[in-house]
């Protein structure tokens, strides 16, 4: 933007610094802090006289002018470097939105009765930042407004948290160094530019602050275009912004959020920075996913100042979940210098998520862990809940650990790159959640399943959101699957049959996990009907839905023979079995799932034989 008299930042020198000094008690920073923590004070308000008592800090804040209800949704906080145009753009944006405009620096100076330069000189930056945060917090606690912050405000971790917690929409006005240099000319009175080379100061601040500014909700690149043009672009970005849906997994200190939306890979660093101990990560992905999505994740992390210590790629497919792949990943990550504050990011489907989560659980006795699922199956199921593990020749997921992620980033935009077979396989877990959830979600699955597996973005987003909503609630109630009846075990609907089929098929890719689960759902419904637990028409309804989306739903739909005896042996070794007894999740109807440990083996064998299995 070009500078002009109308867009230049007015002087922020207080009207009477001597009066202000008496009010803050000379050099006593405790009394100064009391005045600095005041609520909204207009720069035109008279300062408190020296012989008056300090203002009541708990008095109600004056209300800004009324705003039309349609616009009074969220505060907008402009952040950026000195010279980014926060004040000039802020005034114009406020006029467009019909909101009041407030300059945080001006409010601080008016409240303290001192120019910011003098506050810095007398009490130091830590004291100033603390007061700045309290003023910003108070401003954002009131009705919506457009707030221009000082250049260093958003670089303070507590201030960033306060902006985030207030529900305000933060916008970074990102400017290049040449533009900033032209705009800061003549600002030698500002604390950071006193007796210093502006270029050197800006280069240092850019290196330190840009990764922190990247945590803003919206980033708008600013040039030397007229301020009205930049204002229009900011307003359009604000109007178009769609925050990801957030679903909390309530596990106390181990709780975390599932974020569902589009474009999350490009925002990964900004979204993860507040929940990870450091900005040091190692990424585990597979050789199919990495070329498609690793560049976006890499850039999203680096924009927020993350250091990627290692990128470890594994072959795709269930066979990767083994001890050899686990050891190789551990050696790569630890060999790159990972410590106990380094986070492991899983970028991929269920195989990568299970393997990377297990690696994180056992490396250095536990590293922070993030799930970035890229398949429908992983987004709706395996990425949520903290189950990690690898396979043995005896069966699936027999070695593993419960290790909850710090966050799950379910970017539904990446589902458009899935092969049709993978998308269909993921739908099996959605159908499972529909049967567990009840009539409303199950009937939606029956109605919208074909559109979803055809790639309809809205249908896929709804499937992910509702599946995660169900699973997060179940996991919060029964994290370690310890409930004797029901609880997290219900999420294994179809899996006792499905895991046995997978193990017999040899994990070679001929039978995908979701395909095995789909057949397992059909078998579970059929077994439930044979035992008299559900209506006789339910199995046909389940099978018809699965086949309508292109999934196998019966053993006969699989192009290979199976032995009923061998499948039963697999089921007895399943991790859900107790004392060698078979355990199944059965159905009374949609929303009526229950666990059963008294299913006669002969009934299961008869069903398998009737479905076409050999001896």
Rounded CA-CA distance 159/129 in Å is: 8
List, by residue range, all CATH 3.40.50.300 domains of the chain. 69-240
pLDDT digits (tens, 9 = 90+) for 536-558: 999 999 999 999 999 999 999 99
Residue 13 pLDDT > 60: no
The structural architecture, per CATH, of the domain 245-418 is: 3-Layer(aba) Sandwich (3.40)
Q: Which residue in 481, 502, 515, 611 is the catalytic one?
A: 481
- 492 catalytically annotated: yes
Q: Summarize the confidence of residues 424-431 as an average pLDDT.
A: 98
Q: Which residue in 488, 545, 570, 583 is the catalytic one?
A: 488
- 429 catalytically annotated: yes
| 77 within 8 A of 163, measured Cβ to Cβ | yes
Q: 595 labelled as ligand-binding?
A: no
Residue 518 pLDDT > 50: yes
Q: 513 labelled as ligand-binding?
A: yes
Q: Which residue has the higher pLDDT, 45 or 76?
A: 76
Q: Summarize the confidence of residues 69-82 as an average pLDDT.
A: 79
Residue 468 pLDDT > 90: yes
Q: Which residue has the higher pLDDT, 115 or 498?
A: 498
Which is the CATH superfamily of the domain at 69-240? P-loop containing nucleotide triphosphate hydrolases (3.40.50.300)
CA distances from 30 to 27, 35, 192, 290 (A): 9, 9, 24, 54
- 471 catalytically annotated: yes
Q: 580 labelled as ligand-binding?
A: no
- 575 catalytically annotated: no
pLDDT of residue 188: 59
Give the DSSP letter string of 103-165: EHHHHHHHHHTS-HHHHHHHH-HHHHHHHHHHHHHHHHHSS--EEEPPTTTTTSHHHHHHHHH
Q: Which residue in 429, 504, 515, 611 is the catalytic one?
A: 429
List, by residue range, all CATH 1.20.1090.10 domains of the chain. 480-611
Q: Which residue in 133, 312, 513, 583 is the catalytic one?
A: 513
Rounded CA-CA distance 134/370 in Å is: 32
Mean pLDDT score of the chain? 88
- 481 catalytically annotated: yes
Q: 573 labelled as ligand-binding?
A: no
Q: 350 labelled as ligand-binding?
A: yes
* pLDDT tier at 187, thresholds 50, 70, 90: low
| 390 within 8 A of 364, measured Cβ to Cβ | no
Range name among 66-80, 141-155, 179-193, 598-612 with the lowest pLDDT average: 66-80
Q: Which residue in 495, 545, 570, 583 is the catalytic one?
A: 495
Q: 478 labelled as ligand-binding?
A: no
* pLDDT tier at 191, thresholds 50, 70, 90: low
Q: 83 labelled as ligand-binding?
A: yes
In the chain, what percentage of residues exceed pLDDT 70?
Answer: 87
pLDDT of residue 484: 75
pLDDT digits (tens, 9 = 90+) for 383-409: 999 999 999 998 889 999 999 999 999
Rounded CA-CA distance 540/61 in Å is: 64
pLDDT of residue 32: 40
Residue 58 pLDDT > 60: no
List, by residue range, all CATH 3.40.50.1970 domains of the chain. 245-418
Q: Which residue in 183, 499, 545, 583 is the catalytic one?
A: 499
Q: Which tokens hold the place of 122? A: 């007398």
Which sign, positive or negative, has the C-alpha torsion 234, 206, 264, 277? negative
Residue 51 pLDDT > 50: no
Q: Which residue in 138, 492, 570, 611 is the catalytic one?
A: 492
- 387 catalytically annotated: yes
Q: Summarize the confidence of residues 53-64 as an average pLDDT.
A: 40
Give the DSSP letter string of 260-279: EESSTTTTHHHHHTTTSSSS
| 47 within 8 A of 23, measured Cβ to Cβ | yes
**Count of C-beta atoms within a 10 Å radius of residue 33:** 16
Q: Summarize the confidence of residues 106-122 as an average pLDDT.
A: 88
Q: 209 labelled as ligand-binding?
A: yes
pLDDT of residue 28: 40
| CATH number of the structural domain 480-611 | 1.20.1090.10
Q: Which residue in 30, 52, 195, 365 is the catalytic one?
A: 365
- 241 catalytically annotated: no
| 36 within 8 A of 118, measured Cβ to Cβ | no
Q: 15 labelled as ligand-binding?
A: no
Q: With the CA atoms of 444, 450, 454 and 457 taken in that order, what torsion angle do they form, in degrees rounded to the nearest 10? A: -10
Range name among 17-31, 288-302, 335-349, 596-610 with the lowest pLDDT average: 17-31
pLDDT of residue 508: 85
Element (H, E) at 575: none
pLDDT digits (tens, 9 = 90+) for 339-364: 999 999 999 999 999 999 999 999 99
- 365 catalytically annotated: yes
Q: 542 labelled as ligand-binding?
A: no
* pLDDT tier at 184, thresholds 50, 70, 90: confident
pLDDT of residue 190: 66
* pLDDT tier at 121, thresholds 50, 70, 90: confident
Residue 373 pLDDT > 80: yes
Q: 129 labelled as ligand-binding?
A: yes
């Amino acid at each position: 933007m070009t500078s002009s008299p109308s867009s230049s930042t007015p002087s922020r020198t207080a009207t009477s610094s001597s009066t202000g000094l008496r009010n803050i008690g000379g050099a006593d920073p405790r009394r100064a802090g009391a005045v600095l923590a005041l609520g909204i004070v207009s720069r035109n308000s008279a300062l408190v006289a020296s012989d008056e008592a300090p203002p009541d800090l708990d008095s109600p804040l004056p209300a800004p002018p009324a705003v039309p209800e349609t616009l009074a949704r969220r505060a907008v906080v402009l952040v950026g470097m000195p010279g980014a145009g926060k004040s000039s753009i802020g005034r114009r944006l406020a006029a467009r939105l019909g909101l009041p405009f407030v300059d945080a620096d001006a409010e601080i100076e008016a409240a303290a009765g001192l120019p910011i330069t003098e506050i810095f000189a007398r009490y130091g930056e830590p004291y100033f930042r603390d007061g700045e945060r309290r003023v910003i917090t108070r401003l954002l606690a009131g009705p919506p407004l457009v707030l221009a912050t000082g250049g260093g405000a958003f670089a303070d971790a507590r201030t960033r948290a306060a902006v985030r917690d207030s529900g305000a929409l933060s916008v970074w006005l990102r400017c290049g160094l040449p533009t900033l240099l032209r705009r800061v000319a003549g600002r030698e009175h500002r604390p950071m530019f006193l007796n210093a080379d502006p270029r050197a100061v800006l280069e240092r601040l850019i290196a330190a602050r840009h990764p922190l500014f990247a945590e803003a909700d919206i980033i708008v690149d600013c040039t030397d275009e007229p301020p009205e043009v930049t204002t229009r672009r900011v307003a359009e970005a604000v109007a178009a912004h769609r925050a990801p849906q957030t679903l909390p997994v309530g596990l106390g200190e181990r709780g975390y959020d599932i974020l569902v939306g589009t474009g999350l890979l490009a925002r990964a660093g900004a979204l993860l920075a507040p929940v990870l101990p450091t900005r040091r990560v190692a990424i585990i992905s597979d050789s199919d996913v990495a070329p498609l999505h690793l560049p976006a994740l890499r850039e999203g992390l680096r924009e927020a100042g993350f250091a990627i210590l290692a990128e470890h790629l594994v072959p795709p497919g269930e066979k990767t979940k083994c001890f050899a792949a686990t050891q190789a990943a551990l050696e790569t990550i630890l060999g790159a210098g990972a410590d106990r504050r380094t986070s492991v990011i899983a970028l991929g489907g269920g195989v990568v998520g299970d393997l990377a989560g297990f690696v994180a659980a056992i490396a250095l006795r536990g590293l922070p862990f993030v799930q970035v699922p890229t398949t429908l199956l992983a987004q709706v199921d395996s990425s949520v809940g903290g189950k990690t593990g690898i396979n043995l020749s005896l069966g699936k997921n027999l070695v593993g650990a419960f290790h909850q992620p710090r966050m799950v980033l379910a970017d539904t935009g990446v589902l458009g790159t899935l092969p049709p077979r993978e998308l269909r396989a993921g739908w099996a877990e959605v159908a499972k959640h529909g049967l567990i959830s009840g009539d409303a979600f199950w009937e939606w699955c029956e109605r919208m399943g074909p559109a979803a597996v055809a790639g309809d973005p809205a249908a896929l987003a709804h499937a992910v959101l509702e599946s995660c909503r169900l699973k997060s609630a179940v996991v919060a109630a029964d994290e370690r699957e310890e409930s004797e009846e029901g609880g997290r075990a219900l999420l294994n609907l179809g899996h006792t049959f499905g895991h046995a089929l997978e193990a017999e098929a040899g994990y070679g890719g001929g039978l995908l996990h979701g395909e095995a689960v789909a057949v397992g759902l059909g078998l579970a419904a059929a077994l439930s009907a044979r035992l008299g637990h559900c209506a006789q028409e339910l199995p046909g309804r389940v099978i018809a839905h699965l086949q309508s989306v292109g999934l196998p739903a019966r053993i006969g739909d699989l192009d290979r023979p199976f032995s009923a005896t061998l499948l039963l042996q697999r089921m007895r070794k399943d991790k859900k079995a107790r004392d060698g007894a078979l355990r199944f999740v059965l159905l009374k109807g949609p929303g009526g799932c229950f666990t059963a440990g008294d299913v006669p083996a002969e009934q299961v064998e008869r069903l398998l034989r009737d479905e076409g299995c050999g001896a």
